[in-house]
A and B are shown apart, each in its own frame.
Chain A
Amino acid sequence: MKARPPVLAFVVVLVVVVATVPGQGRQGSPAPPRTARSAAPIDLTGYWVSVVTEDWRWRMLTPPKGDAQSVPINAEGKRVTEAWDLAKDNAAGLQCKAFGVGGIMRQPGRLHITWADDNTLKIEADAGTQTRLLNFDRAKHAPAEKTWQGFSVAQWVGPPRARGAGPAPTPFSPTVPGGGGSGLRGGPPPAAAISQGGSLEVTTTAFRDGYLRKNGVPYSQDATIVEYFDRLPPSPNGDVWLLVMTMVDDPKYLTQPFYTSTHFKLERDGSKWKPSACSTDAPAK
């Protein structure tokens, strides 16, 4: 008999705890499945501008023919690179080869990211006027026809997020650095920070042959392209950055996976949005 009060206490606690876990223990019909939009741990929507601080010569200009520096191309890739013919591409209607899924993030320009529906994130690029649809709905399958942007499957990845927590990350707000011994405290992560974060993982298939660089450094339609989208904690000056890490694994043209990370800065609005047709300038030299 002495054990009974503790048993009752445990049961009461159990009921209380389970009932207070957000999103659980509701009476009646089960909660509808969460959409990708409602489950988003980070907010990727908005206008983002690429700030070209890396590979400037290869991105802002069309580099010389055959210049594949930094790209781990194999002999076949080198051969194809050196055979690039801009006029021939244009004549064949292949102006968008440098604006396909394997190269679009490296094109200087702006992205406009919105939710097309609750389970589809849309990325528009003004460079080449391209549109990508990132599908969270696993029931969808790639169409038979290959396109420049292919078919993208997306999922949120990263640390578990406390239910009910808001999607916005804790502002990164150090005081003015460098002196006086004040401010700039690091410290163990606060509970709120633990439950934040997360990335968007995107795997794309069903795309056409394209170019990693404007000057015809190729990737094949058989490549594997995986991307991670991370919204970085706000900078001390208020800048918000989007980091897109792209891995292109293409045994046909590359000796190893090709990694690039491209950064975009959040803009207040779309006033600088400037769609343009797929077009590649002739190399300056």
Chain B
Amino acid sequence: MHSSECGWQTGRHAALRVCLLHFAFCIALAAPAAAQISLVGDWVGRYHEDNQDRIPGPDLGDYTGLPVNDAARRYADSWDPSRVSLLEHQCEPYVSPHIYRGPLQFRISEEHNPDTQELIALKQYLGTYQQWRTIWLDGRPHPPDYAPHTWMGFSTGEWHGDILTVTTTHIKAEFFRRSGIPSSDETTLVEHYVRHGNVLSHVMIATDPVYLTEPLIMTEEFVLMDRGNQNWLYNCEYATEIDRPKNDVPHFLDGTNPSLKEYAERYGIPLEAARGGAETTYPEYMDTLRRMLAGGTPGPPRTPVAQTLSGPRGEPDPSTGPRSSRAESRGDKARPTGEVHTFHVQGNVYLLAGAGANIAVQVGDDGVVVVDTGNSQATDKVLAAIRQLSAGGGDATARAVNKEIRWIINTEFDRDHTGGNEAISKAGRTVNGNPAAVVAHENAAARMAQAGVADNARPFNTYFEEQRDFPFNGEPIFIYHDAAAHTDAGSMVFFRRSDVIVAGDAFDTTRYPVIDAKNGGSVAGVIRTLNRILELAVPSKYLQEGGTYIIPGHGRICDEADVVEYRDMVQIVSDRIADMVKKGMTLAQVQAAQPTLDYDGRYGDAAAFIEAIYGEKKR
């Protein structure tokens, strides 16, 4: 079309053109902004606050400025920096609530929908530890609670004007401060990114119901790099640094950490104040400081230092109190027989959560292997979930021909692991037409028989050796038995090609391990089992994440780093109680000493755990 044909050259339409331009201009003025400030670029930290903490590293015993509870103090008091020399710990990165507190440069880029150009995510590459973060802006929900946790967690963002607010969950356990102040895997992080010119203020507000009594707010400044630099890689290859007994976990027993007073003494800080706490972060605490420095008392007793540094303390911290409702609601405890949820772990293996104990399902051309069968009340839902998986997403013909339930393996003999045995076995079929075979250690079969479990619900394909293996669906499946872990009847299953371990109740992220001594369980066996998992598991990259996934008896999917934390906990508590037994303490005295104080907020009531270890150490 020629321009003159549309009338743009006529005088009357020239006036119209002016009007239209004016119109467009008015619209542009009246319309709200269509996008926020850009955060794209390479940003490098300025360390004008807390330089000691962020660059060279904090002093041991420096808990100042942190709203920590007694559990965090106990954890930090017993923390031996030598622990990071353990092979599994050496290459662990900082978690997202901590990584911005260290030397850091990071790069932000944008990911757009190629069709609409809508901004759907911000990507961050953090040079320290070579970590990646994705901040989703497309409205997706956070993963379910049984999904794996990572160092950086799962993040979603939303804009408030030019402030980007990011919420992150599914973060691994690590530290808020390198002096041993722990952060738990229940931490939620809210960040605000505030850009002014070439300066980016980064605000972190961490909420940790296990170790903090108030949200911890931290702020850092980063400056836009005009030219960037080359220091973007972080090489970490673990190596034996200290010759020590295999599986030793360095830590300080109560009263033996020689460094806890050094920081306070060096700077003339009252020891009580150096131990942190929410009240120490408010201006009015300055009056308390003055009183203490003048030789007076700090006021109402708080965190009795002498007890903290040398042994048991008085009243338990209510924020970490025994068997909190948080622990009860964690993982599958919240829905023992509710909805059954399916989660693809990796390879051919899926998790079914919500049926009591965790259930693992391996699906392939040969058929289906089911590891544990959950509570009997949930069997219909479990079967429905298995059928959906085995049908290849609803292909019933494929199921009928190729994907029968062939094997069931019981990792434990408890009802929450075996309640669906009979029905699920009947729903399956071995190659010779019998109900699906139920496999377990012979002790499990014996214990179930003793308990009066019906024949059809008991395993008849039993084994008695320490290890059994067989191929199925194109991958080797290993079954390991420990003579005395949760009980004397447990099995751990390793799908070698899928790289998934089904741990049984020796590993339970929702509580302390249940040591069923009456049925042959022991803490030594639990530790052996956890160490065996660590021997089998390999992270997917140097920095201790992913790779082998571990399905615990109860709780969320884990990787090696999560098992290390749990193993450390069991070993440390066991060592503490052994030391107390050696000192001649009674069970009541041991319970009063709260040897699990630093973990109770995470794992709940420790009474039975302590009693089981005590009994074992007394023998």
Contact = CB atoms under 8 A, between A and B. Distances in A.
Given A172-B165, A188-B137, A232 B281 contact: no
Contact of B215 (A60, A182, A189, A239): A239
Given A21-B30, A54-B65, A158-B162, A230 B194 contact: yes
Contacts of B293: 281, 284
Interface residues of B, number: 87
Contacts of B205: 235, 239, 241
A52 interface: yes
Interface residues of A, number: 86
Chain B, interface SS category: mixed
Contacts of A177: 142, 167, 169, 188
B20 A10 contact: yes
B203 A259 contact: no
Given A52-B282, A184-B169, A196-B160, A3 B7 contact: yes
A60 B268 contact: no
Contact of B192 (A174, A232, A247): A232
Interface in A46-104: 49-57, 60-61, 63-64, 69-72
A152 interface: no
Interface stretch (B216-224, B362-370, B381-389, B594-602): B216-224
Contact of B281 (A53, A57, A199): A53
A53 B48 contact: no
A178 B169 contact: yes
Contacts of A64: 267-268
A184 B29 contact: no
A13 interface: yes
Interface string A163-196: 0000001101010011111111111110101111
B268 A283 contact: yes
A69 B221 contact: no
Interface of B: 7, 12-13, 16, 19-20, 22-23, 26-27, 29-30, 32-34, 36-37, 46-52, 64-67, 118-119, 135-145, 156-163, 165, 167, 169-170, 186, 188, 190, 192, 194, 196, 199, 201, 203, 205, 207, 215-221, 223, 266-269, 273, 280-286, 289-290, 293
A196 B29 CA distance: 16
A70 B49 contact: yes
Nearest to B216: A53
Contacts of A55: 49-50, 65
Contacts of A17: 23, 26-27, 30
A270 interface: no
Contacts of A228: 194, 196, 201
B65 A53 contact: yes
A56 B284 contact: no
A50 B217 contact: no
Among B37, B156, B216, find the residue whose CB has the most chain A CB atoms closer than 10 A. Answer: B156
Contacts of B19: 10-11, 14
8 contacts: A7-B12, A55-B49, A188-B118, A196-B160, A235-B215, A236-B190, A259-B46, A261-B220
B32 A160 contact: yes
Contacts of A189: 36, 158-159
B160 A57 contact: no
Contacts of A29: none
Given A21-B29, A198-B161, 9 more contacts: A60-B280, A64-B268, A70-B49, A70-B51, A178-B186, A199-B194, A237-B215, A245-B194, A259-B221
